[in-house]
């Protein structure tokens, strides 16, 4: 399953809403995770099963979608949210595949 993400870069002002998209090349249900990665750090799990927030993840992060179209929404961007976000499918593995990432930058 090939994952694509759009846009590649998203320019957003602090306090604004950010909507990130992830699309799969074939239908696979809801076995999708989202990760946040900041420069020089390992990724951090945000969302699994398409819409369940991981422990400690703020409520401003939400995930939705199923089938082939998935969305990560950050309701009100905080300064610490500027990072790269990856989606990952984990159905019928191997392989496990990641999307190419969306960079969220300060506008």
Which residues of this protein are in contact with another protein, per CB under 8 A? 31, 33, 35, 42-45, 48-49, 54, 86, 88, 90, 93-101
- Whichever of 15 and 94 has its CB closer to another protein, that residue is 94
**Distance set, CA 93 to CA 23, 70, 88, 97, 103 (Å):** 17, 19, 11, 9, 26
- Whichever of 2 and 17 has its CB closer to another protein, that residue is 2
Nearest approach, Cβ of 86 to another protein (angstroms)? 6
């Amino acid at each position: 399953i090939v994952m694509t993400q759009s846009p590649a870069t998203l320019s957003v002002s602090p306090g604004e809403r950010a909507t990130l998209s992830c699309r799969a090349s074939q239908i696979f249900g809801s076995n999708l995770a989202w990760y946040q990665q900041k420069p020089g750090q390992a990724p951090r799990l945000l969302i699994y099963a398409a819409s369940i927030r991981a422990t400690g993840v703020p409520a401003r992060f939400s995930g939705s979608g199923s089938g082939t179209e998935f969305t990560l929404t950050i309701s009100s961007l905080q300064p610490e949210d500027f990072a790269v976000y990856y989606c990952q499918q984990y159905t019928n593995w191997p392989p496990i595949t990641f999307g190419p990432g969306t960079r969220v930058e300060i506008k």
